[in-house]
Amino acid sequence: MSQPILSIITCGKNDQYAGNFLQRLQLNLSKLESNLKNLNITDVEILVTDWSSEIPLHTVLDTTNFKFTKFIYVPLHLANKYSPDSGFSLTQSLNTGYRKSQGNYIFFIDGDSYISDESFSKLYNLVKSSTLTDNIFYWASRYHLPYELHSAVSSINELDAFILSWKGNKDNWRHDRVNLGHFEGTAMGLLLSKHICEESSCWYEKLNKWGWVDIEIHSRISKKYPCCGDLEDLDMYFFHLDHHHIQKAGQNGANPCINAPDFKANNDDWGLNNENLMLYKK
């Protein structure tokens, strides 16, 4: 593997959140690995923070053909140390993944995301081009793949075939469109440089439950660096493996709608930087 230019960072927990999280994460990671193989890309890494799983994710997922994915395991005692009032901390998980990353650019995505080869190729070309600089960032809107569809399959080939037929019917799909004039979250991904991540310390770790985290980071970063829009406007389409109709409301509690007091949101130990965390790779 070459020195990464791009680090794709996601996270999860082996608790079958909203019905079939393991299956959704497996489809996500398998598709990312397939993207890289099909496009002959060697300078991208995938990092998954496993936040407090009793049985670690890397032991239950099928990683047989994984070449680019690394798992960072945060055991329960450490998770309880950093977020004692929350069963899962999205902000700390993503920050922990970032601290182990090596890429010049970072793409934070949901654990149950899905990216086609075509859109991944465009994303990679953007990262490699002079258009993307250290001082701008992008969000990524998402279309929702219905639960009834993805829960019934175990193969990315089946989902790929379905997505090929999607463009003619996309108006019928539920769509979370990023509104940069009045940002309300609901994006699937955030693309930005290592420079912005270091200066801002990424996600505000006092928000260790659900909600508001994307609104907070957008509000903070956009005060200093311009958001250049939605990757969908560059003809990149991203999918979410939907689970909303079976998600338990308030399962992890809700964050207060507060912003970090400073551009650098966190203390120097953010992202569990002082901990000796185990890194697993096939």
The string of pLDDT tens digits covering residues 6-56 is 999 999 999 877 778 999 999 999 999 999 999 999 999 999 999 999 999
26 close to 111: Cβ distance less than 8 angstroms: no
**Residue 251: band (very low, low, confident or very high) from pLDDT cuts 50, 70, 90:** low
Q: What are the percentages of helix, strand and coil residues in the chain, rounded to 5?
A: 30, 20, 50
pLDDT at position 247:
59
d(CA 201, CA 266): 6
Amino acid at 150: H
d(CA 140, CA 191): 8
Alpha-helix residue ranges (DSSP H) falling in 181-240: 194-200, 213-221
Q: Angle at the Cα of 29 (from 248 to 8), degrees rounded to 5?
A: 95
pLDDT at position 11:
98
Domains along the chain with CATH numbers: 6-281 (3.90.550.10)
pTM: 0.96
pLDDT at position 130:
93
Q: Quick check: 244 pLDDT over 80?
A: no
| Mean pLDDT in residue range 104-131 | 97
Pick the closest to residue 26 from 86, 91, 71 (CA basis): 71
218's CB contacts (< 8 A; 6+ apart) are 139, 183, 185, 227
pLDDT at position 250:
47
253 close to 86: Cβ distance less than 8 angstroms: yes
Pick the closest to residue 36 from 138, 127, 112 (CA basis): 127
Across all residues in the chain, what is the average pLDDT? 94
pLDDT at position 173:
86
Pick the closest to residue 241 from 112, 110, 100 (CA basis): 112
Residue burial 81-116, b: 16+ Cβ < 10 Å; e: rest: ebbeebbbbbbbbbbbbbbbbebbbbbbbbbbbbbb
Q: Quick check: 248 pLDDT over 70?
A: no
**Beta-carbon count within 10 A of 134 CB:** 14
**CB burial of residue 179 (10 Å; 0-12, 13-18, 19+):** middle
Range scoring the smallest mean pLDDT among 26-35, 118-127, 157-166, 217-226: 157-166
**Residue 274: band (very low, low, confident or very high) from pLDDT cuts 50, 70, 90:** very high
User: How are beta strands 137-140 and 227-230 bridged, if at all?
Assistant: parallel
d(CA 74, CA 53): 8
Q: What percent of the chain has a predicted confidence (pLDDT) above 90?
A: 85
d(CA 214, CA 237): 19
Q: Quick check: 204 pLDDT over 60?
A: yes
pLDDT at position 216:
98
d(CA 276, CA 279): 9
